[in-house]
Structure 1
């Protein structure tokens, strides 16, 4: 299990994702290597995973982490690529989505929701800023389901701190 994210890193990754401008090559697609240059996942996870791959295979170890931040799908592609290059392409990788709730929050704001701070009592509009991203904490049952469906590695974005432990235990 691993926990790579904090509220601060989620803010950095979330705002970074919004600021990105998609680029396409002349054939209309962007290579994995080019997309990795602006990735909004915890790249330190990749540094930790690479030397661990042989042990994951040898020990048949399952892995659940929240390193996806705001680019969990891209992280899954990168991990699959790493596994294939390491001769471990047989490991199944799952990624969890649903933590990006920017659209839902913006919709609720348009409907009049005030989003009052539990800490300060201030309403969102009193802060004088527009939200650029919103993420919800997901729990461990989605991790448990991914393992039940055969995943060896489960990648999440914004997960509750205990979610990888709960998911593996379930």
Structure 2
């Protein structure tokens, strides 16, 4: 599965950087190297040297869609991911993503590239799909960056409501 760098991610980072709160304490995981190729240069050019993330890594897109997940629980403060056009694979990936975020960690999710936001051959409500992955209903925000939608959500638990 070949991914290209999503066009809507850089404008999203520019506009919502204050809400994302990327800082020197941030541990960022990108679900593909094209996503890292957008996030890493953005951090380098928009954050001062003292605010660079503590870690910024990517996993191969094939691992992100595997049935096994090797990333630790509650480890990342930010995760950037692009959904698959397969519904079952996308929900599984979202569950893995939710598992690996720290409490109040932020997920940035982009729709699949092929089909302009179609999952399983149908246009999906990105927020509802992300909620299927374990995120709290009503806490997912979807914005349209002109070149496509971007969703972001914070991992909550019952104690943080």
Name the TM-score, length of structure 1 as normaliser.
0.36
Larger Rg: 1
| Bigger helix fraction | 1
- Of structures 1 and 2, the one with the larger relative CO (CA 8 A, separation 6+) is 1
Larger strand proportion of the pair: 2
